[in-house]
A and B are shown apart, each in its own frame.
Chain A
């Protein structure tokens, strides 16, 4: 472990890896240990992986060296077959992801229903197309297999300076095939265009799909990816975002359904002045595994990134994983970055892993920070609501609903937001004790 980063930003860096400290961070100081819901996470929750307390990953193997480069390759065999002991795979239940890792090449497809506003083009390109060659490379074996077997990509093109009158919607529905569906979607948004693209996944599938968003200079892009899969579905995907000069990209990931969902979101900046907002919500029920890994690579000056992921868990063996890596390279002066992960553990027997990592290689930055908190309800919020006459059950429902709405309302598409909140409500309805009173709309 290197010396603490000496950038003058320590006060903003609030990583906590001890579970008690995590709970303490979520709740106001001095509150708890009295009546009301427990304020310490249930056994087996609130871990921060196997990181040792205070384990910042700033710096590298030597105090002056840079961390090892992240290995990428289009060749699946360059990675070797994961065993589950690798850093990238250590949280993933290998037995359940193997159907994808060992899946054969196939012609299976998701059913596509698309809504394309005027000016938007949906085409297919072959694997040897220069566009494919130019995409950010796969970061693990499964992503490389996906790139190889998808045999090209579906490309959504938004012309430069276009201002779409409605979102581009790709409804991708699993048809229940046992065969693995391999896919690659590329969203190419021209300079100064403004576009929102929704990938709406549902149905039953074994799906391994890459998504690359290429945002041109000055473009404003929102990518929404909804994972509302039927039970039993398995979904993995590498999401790459390349942010053009002065472009602004917002990604909203909503993971609700499926047996296992594992998404790896990478952000790179093609020029200075870029901005990336990465929002996510996930809601894991009994036995669901939901894993979100983020990697934001600040390699050019004057860019910013902001990460907000919130998850709730209920039921035995619900497991969520959030890993947020941010690297600020020596050239990336003027960087501003913050990442926050919050997990709300609604019942015993659920497990939330949360691992923020920040590597800072230049002191010339605006700010860098991260925070992670896993715990039960915030007592102060509940007290505030109850002090207005609202009973504790209704107050809890309001808080959980608000916990999700906080992120969902950033999608900016009211119909979709309503649908997602409806799904959340229905899921909360299954929670004993929270179901007793309806919440006023």
Chain B
């Protein structure tokens, strides 16, 4: 049983006078086996939350805390966070020219498990997982994310999640840019993981579409750097029909007031 706790998290980008606060007091608790959907309009800071949890150097935590089973995540390096059991499926996975998928996966698995996985079972595991995500075997010999289609990149992200077996996975707009087939395959990969492990999922999305495939336990509405509403799956239905307009209007008023005051 693992718990990721985020308390009053404030995060900015930029230095000195150019610093801009993106997260303005985020509170969230994710337990093993739970799936939380975070929904919000573009520019609300959803991805900043994802990257801040993973430790991207672009973002500066100015106050608040993030702990995983009581351990201070913010004090960990990026790789330590991954080894502690956090995983970030990225919205825009990065190309690494000249590094093959198979080499990358094995290096990552070795790092996360603390020892090199036995070659025979490893090769079998990779093949099985790739088949489950409807990925061609030749995929393993390609360079990481190089020339991958949008769907291939996201399958590759979920493949990594399957193989690295994190405690908590943050899926940052994994549904964006996917056609229906790819969305189904990727969602099934996530659902399999929820069934065969007690993975906690933080599902960040702009659209309700993916929630038809991955049923969340909790839905949070994220506007202008903080949560403005929480509920069950029914909240997603409300967003589906009404959109973010009501929330955005409120927050626009707030932002305007803040801008006038500063």
Interface residues of A (CB under 8 A from B): 30-36, 379-381, 383-392, 394-395, 398-399, 401-409, 439-441
Contacts and interface: CB of A to CB of B under 8 A. Distances in A.
Nearest to A388: B108
A69 B230 CA distance: 72
B193 interface: no
A394 B96 contact: no
Contacts of A409: 98
Nearest to A34: B57
A440 B78 CA distance: 20
A355 B164 CA distance: 44
Contacts of B78: 383, 386-387
Contact of A384 (B57, B94, B106, B164): B94
25 contacts: A31-B58, A33-B15, A34-B57, A383-B78, A384-B93, A384-B94, A384-B96, A384-B144, A385-B96, A385-B104, A387-B79, A387-B88, A388-B82, A388-B108, A389-B164, A398-B96, A398-B103, A398-B104, A401-B98, A405-B99, A409-B98, A439-B103, A440-B103, A440-B107, A440-B116
Contact of A383 (B94, B95, B106, B160): B94
B164 A388 contact: yes
A33 B83 CA distance: 25
B106 A440 contact: yes
B112 interface: yes
B69 to A, nearest CB: 17
A406 B107 contact: no
Contact of B103 (A386, A406, A441): A441
Nearest to A408: B98
Interface in B93-131: 93-99, 103-104, 106-108, 110-112, 116
Nearest to B54: A387
Given A386-B82, A387-B82, A389-B79, A403 B97 contact: yes
Interface string B171-192: 0000000000000000000000
A401 B99 contact: yes
A433 to B, nearest CB: 15
Closest 5 CB pairs of A and B: A402-B98, A405-B98, A34-B57, A406-B98, A389-B82
A404 B90 CA distance: 26
A399 B96 contact: yes
Contacts of A384: 90, 93-94, 96, 144
Contacts, number: 105
Contacts of B238: none
Contacts of B32: none
Contacts of B96: 381, 384-385, 398-399, 402
Interface string B52-73: 0011111010000000000000
Contact of A390 (B58, B79, B87): B79
A263 B111 CA distance: 42
Nearest to B60: A34
Given A405-B98, A439-B107, A441-B103, A388 B112 contact: yes
Contacts of A383: 54, 56-57, 78, 94
Nearest to B15: A33
B235 interface: no
B143 A390 contact: no
Given A381-B94, A386-B77, A35 B108 contact: no
B239 interface: no
A402 B143 contact: yes
Given A387-B54, A387-B81, A441-B103, 10 more contacts: A383-B57, A384-B93, A389-B112, A390-B79, A392-B77, A395-B79, A398-B96, A399-B99, A402-B99, A405-B97
B13 interface: yes
A33 B103 CA distance: 30
A401 to B, nearest CB: 7
Contacts of B93: 384
Contacts of B107: 390, 394, 398, 439-440
A381 to B, nearest CB: 5
A409 B97 CA distance: 11
B58 A391 contact: no
A320 to B, nearest CB: 19
Contacts of A388: 79, 82, 104, 108, 111-112, 160, 164
Contacts of A440: 103, 106-107, 110, 116
B84 to A, nearest CB: 9
